[in-house]
A and B are shown apart, each in its own frame.
Chain A
Amino acid sequence: MTSKKNVLEVKNLQAWFGKFHAVKGVSTDYPEKSITAIIGPSGCGKSTYLRCLNRIHEEVPGARSSGQALLLGQDIFAPEVDPVELRQNIGMVFQKPNPFPALSIFENVVVGLKLQGIKNKAKLLETAERCLRKAALWEEVKDKLHQQGTSLSGGQQQRLCIARALAVNPPVLLMDEPTSALDPIASAKIEELMQDLKEDFTVIVVTHNMQQAARVADYTSFLMLGELVEHGPSEIIFTNPKQSKTEDYITGRFG
């Protein structure tokens, strides 16, 4: 666990919405092929922090950020980095399943590649199957790839969105509360899937569900009021945290 190299190193990341200081200097390293959970009370800046990492935060009017985040040694905030290209290397899965309307299941998965200019039908089909298998959805949709993505159930839609993110093949995958809109059975499937994803990807997941964090994450960060209170291996954070605030939160004394 310790010998893994870091895929992403975040240094003193700050984020604002207008005058509101949402993330106040967070620094964390993310080792290759691991899952890191970010927990914390509502409004603590977890989602904003996550959204800085693929620079989608700056798409919101009035929002800005500062600090460093080294993706394989390259600062993603450097002026020469094109956010469009960056996002091909840091994928994202959102809180609400959001398949693209009017696109078929197949088109939803390969839309990223297709719009990047890949036209080879065989390659697109191969990618779609591989990603849908990886997202544990292939068996359920293989006979109806040309039905609309929005015709699937919520849990299936979320796995479709994961497949869509995987198709671009980013080394890092951000997940913003991916199961909060799903029922427990669908959530369990996604959690199982995350364990598989770890074999190929580095996953950072924001979650409100502490059991989920304890179950799936190798590392856990606890954020409060925009500050990183504690970060470490999950088994330590959840059994023997160093900070009293962390202990209060995970034992349910507040939040």
Chain B
Amino acid sequence: MNQFKFRKVRNKLFLFSLSIAAVVCLAPLIMVTSFMLQKGAASLDLDFFTKLPVPVGEAGGGMLHAILGTIYMVTLGSLMAVPLGLIGGIYLSEYGKGGISKALRLATDVMTGIPSIIIGIFAYILLVVPFKSFSALSGAVALAIIILPVVIRSSEEILKLVPKHIREAGLALGLPRWKVILFIIVRGNLSALFTGVMLAIARASGETAPLLFTAFGNMYLSYSPMEPMASLPVQIYTYAISPFEDWQRQSWAGAFVLIILVIGVNLGARFLMNPKALKNFLKRSSS
């Protein structure tokens, strides 16, 4: 009986310490978001989304160009990286046994670990120096390099989770391997693959360093891939280190919008492909 009591106490103690650890883990996230909410939401107005920057000294203006720029470059970068990443991930999971795949796996692991500023420098040398101009294209390429390894590894891991007997069942129907992979394995896991892709894109859309000396930034609307282009993270950075109070205020607003964007893409990816999760989430948050 005594021993039983001791076990119960020990259980409670353990549960308590784990709960503390969980709270500690969540604390930074909660603090960052609440800080952004306070500072950012207060500085947010409709102009922020619809207007371009105004000269220093004048009040008002917004970050329309930076919001569009971020969407532009992230989309362009994703178009380059996502198809390639999916192909790489499928290759690693379905055929990945030989030397090439070992090399590819090592390369993606190394690529995931490369500091993003280095990727920025790489894109700078590759596309900015030869063309003698900062460009949205070079920014998009830098973002693509960030997205690529994440997509490769996440899709590999997702497809590896598919049990072997599902593949065998496909082969046993008399289907060639490529059809089994494409129309049964990949098709059956589209939602998970999509989530992985969206997480990679969300991560890239918050990157500042790779855009600093590739897309560089500007103060007006630009749609040309060969010209400098503004982006939310760089605009936030520029405004935050400026001495002007109105710019700093807008920087907070920008940070708030960026964080909402990233969280939105994250949650959107989960719910869009899995409506049941949305229902559960709403039920949980309403009760």
Contact = CB atoms under 8 A, between A and B. Distances in A.
Interface in B168-190: 168-176, 179, 183-184, 187-190
Contacts of B184: 100, 103, 111
Q: Helix, strand, loop or mixed for chain A's interface?
A: loop
Contacts of B189: 101-102
A196 B97 CA distance: 43
Interface of B: 97, 162-163, 165-166, 168-176, 179, 183-184, 187-191
A59 B179 CA distance: 15
Name the 7 nearest CB pairs between A and B, nearest first. Answer: A88-B174, A101-B188, A87-B174, A112-B173, A92-B172, A102-B188, A98-B169
Given A61-B97, A84-B174, A161 B169 contact: yes
A101 B193 CA distance: 13
Nearest to A55: B171
B56 to A, nearest CB: 55
A147 to B, nearest CB: 13
A87 B169 CA distance: 11
B167 to A, nearest CB: 8
A85 interface: yes
Question: Which range holds the interface residue count of chain A?
Answer: 20 to 34
A208 interface: no
Interface of A: 54, 56, 59, 61, 84-89, 91-92, 94-96, 98, 100-103, 111-112, 115-116, 161, 164-165, 168, 170
Contacts of B162: 101
A94 B170 CA distance: 11
Given A91-B172, A96-B165, 5 more contacts: A84-B174, A87-B175, A101-B188, A164-B169, A164-B173
A67 to B, nearest CB: 20
A61 B95 CA distance: 11
